[in-house]
Chain A
Amino acid sequence: MKIIPQIDTYPRLVTACETPWGKVALLAAFAATLLLNRVGIWLELTLVAGVLSFLPEHRQILLSLAALYWVFMHKDWTRWDFIHRMAAGAQAPDWVMNLWVVTLLAGIFCGVWLFFLHVQKRGGSFLARRPVQVLLSGYVALLLAAGTLPLHGAAKALLWVILALLAPYLWFFAYALQDAGSKTADATAVQFGSFHPFYMAPFASFTPIGKGRAYLRKTEARTSKQLSVVQLKAIKLLLWVTVLHIFYTLFILVVLGENTRSSKMLRLLFDHAGLPVPNFSVPTLELAIEQTAAGAHLPVHLAWASLIAHFIEALLAISITGNLVVACCRMAGFHILRNTYRPLQSQTIADFWNRYYYYFKELLVEFFFFPTYVRYFKKYRRLRLAVATFAAATLGNALYHFCKDFFYVADMGFWRALAGFRVYLFYATVLGAAIVVSQLRGHKVQANKPLYRRVIASSGVIAFFCLLEVFDYEGRTHLLRSHFEFFRSLFPWL
């Protein structure tokens, strides 16, 4: 039984949504579901989706204009607090800082444009053959220089502002440069529309959900009927996100006892209906780990509750935010795959990773897995698979997070920030090793397996990822020992 009706398969509805009034109705449904999901920028998103619905033939240029608008009118795509702090260090007034930012951003885009053109000419240079490696190495070299060189004043501020502006665009540029080498690459003006596109506004992530232009080109609606179907799929997905959001709010309120705006509303509804709201006040995982590290061991049932609650919350949060972006992208006319798709049905570790955060996994596959797989150990099939998987799930994963959290390097220096990264490095290593084993054992999901065997396999996978959450810590202050102590406290009988 489906909770959400398959509205995209109703022929009369599809035809109706091709008409102007049908489009208006779709946009109204889009705005309403965004509001239900408490998306603050629902009006801007609906306006852009509206223009794209009525002028699909100008989709590419409209997307570029929307991306330009978002860069300057919204400030959640990078760490502006960090940029302000750096500018304060250089004692620059606000208007000078703003001028700097615009100039540097223009410089970065011009640099990438020239790089893109160079790759498009398909020269034999290393730069043209390995553009993504050059881009990533360049960024890491800048980070290393900023974190180790004894810089002061304007020079220090300049370098850190460049890093703060480049970091959010790094993987968007990587997709564009990879596309530059393909036979059907779009022009740079069109590529610009996929750099922090408007549909990513509800979730300011550094991971390009919807990847780059190469993927968008292939998933773009070409006819009025296709657009109608994909927009109905967007509404269907938003309805599912709304169901998840309600469950998430209830979960936060009852299990964690947290008072968000949504949970307050829910509490009012419960109070109005005269229903008591239970509150289990389960501590957050971070708090539980910190308490364990401080010697105040939690009762074992509370430690488990904290871990399981964290796992469920993370699962719901990524399902809601990622699929919200996917739905907005579908409203723009791109039939992209869901970000999170039935992860609890996974029967292998590799399958869970594929279903949990699809676009992050795809990023690692594109830029780490395949380049390693097609180049190294070609005569040794199993070793080749293991090395490529490790390159993606461990090295690529760690590199992504280290580059994303550049501000730790500014605060602690490069080497201390790297040393403080040990908990996440451990997490990425175990994850990589587990996926390698899962892949080598054979990845095939056997749909014909009896139900009880599928349930056992899924339970094992869920238990593994739940336990691994203990080490999924991106901060720099915890010791690895603290996480191990918490892990051990889950099994006091051992």
Chain B
Amino acid sequence: MKDRLALRAVLEKLLLQKGDRNTFSDGESLLTSGRLDSVDTLELVVLLEQDYGIDFSNGFDRDDLDSVDSILNLIQAQPAAPKVSMHAMEQRAT
């Protein structure tokens, strides 16, 4: 639950920086719909690498970063990820 809230805060911040104040659901596509672009994807990649230890170097599927649900699935699929993240993610979102 905490992951979800923190992640939503990060995504809301990215959208706000683009002047997008519309709401979004957890399953809603943000990349495919064009609300977030490839540069925003980088922010997510860096965040997931640093805060969850996810290694994208063996394959990178943008679908995994398309919505809150898909990002959470990606985080949960990681074996023993170093979960240092909550505060860091929330700080990033402020």
Query: Does chain B have a CB within 8 A of A413?
Result: no
- Total contacting residues, chain A, CB less than 8 A: 31
**Cα distance, A361 to B39, chains bound together (Å):** 12
CB-CB < 8 A to B60: which residues of A?
370-371, 374
Q: Number of contact residues on B: which range applies?
A: 20 to 34
CB-CB < 8 A to A374: which residues of B?
45, 56-57, 60
**Cα distance, A219 to B34, chains bound together (Å):** 11
A366-386 interface code vs B (CB 8 A; 1 in, 0 out): 100111011100100100010
CB-CB < 8 A to B61: which residues of A?
181-182
| Cβ of A477 to closest chain B Cβ, rounded Å | 35
Query: Does chain A have a CB within 8 A of B3?
Result: no
Main secondary structure of the interface of A (DSSP, over half): helix
Which of A107-115, A253-261, A444-452 interfaces with chain B? A444-452
Work out how many contacts link A and B, with CB atoms closer than 8 A: 51
**Cα distance, A362 to B39, chains bound together (Å):** 11
A214 with B56: CB separation less than 8 A: no
B42 with A385: CB separation less than 8 A: yes
A378 with B49: CB separation less than 8 A: yes
Query: Does chain A have a CB within 8 A of B18?
Result: yes
Among A361, A366, A373, A445: residue with most chain B CB under 10 A = A373
Query: Does chain B have a CB within 8 A of A162?
Result: no
CB-CB < 8 A to B26: which residues of A?
none
| Cβ of A125 to closest chain B Cβ, rounded Å | 13
- Nearest B residue to A350 via CB reads B39
**Cα distance, A373 to B42, chains bound together (Å):** 8
Chain A stretch 213-263: residues in CB contact (< 8 A) with chain B:
214-215, 218-219
B50-87 interface code vs A (CB 8 A; 1 in, 0 out): 00000011111111001000000000000000000000
A218 with B34: CB separation less than 8 A: no
Known: A369-B38, A445-B19, A446-B19. 10 other contacts (CB 8 A): A129-B58, A182-B61, A184-B63, A354-B37, A354-B38, A366-B62, A374-B57, A375-B57, A385-B42, A446-B17
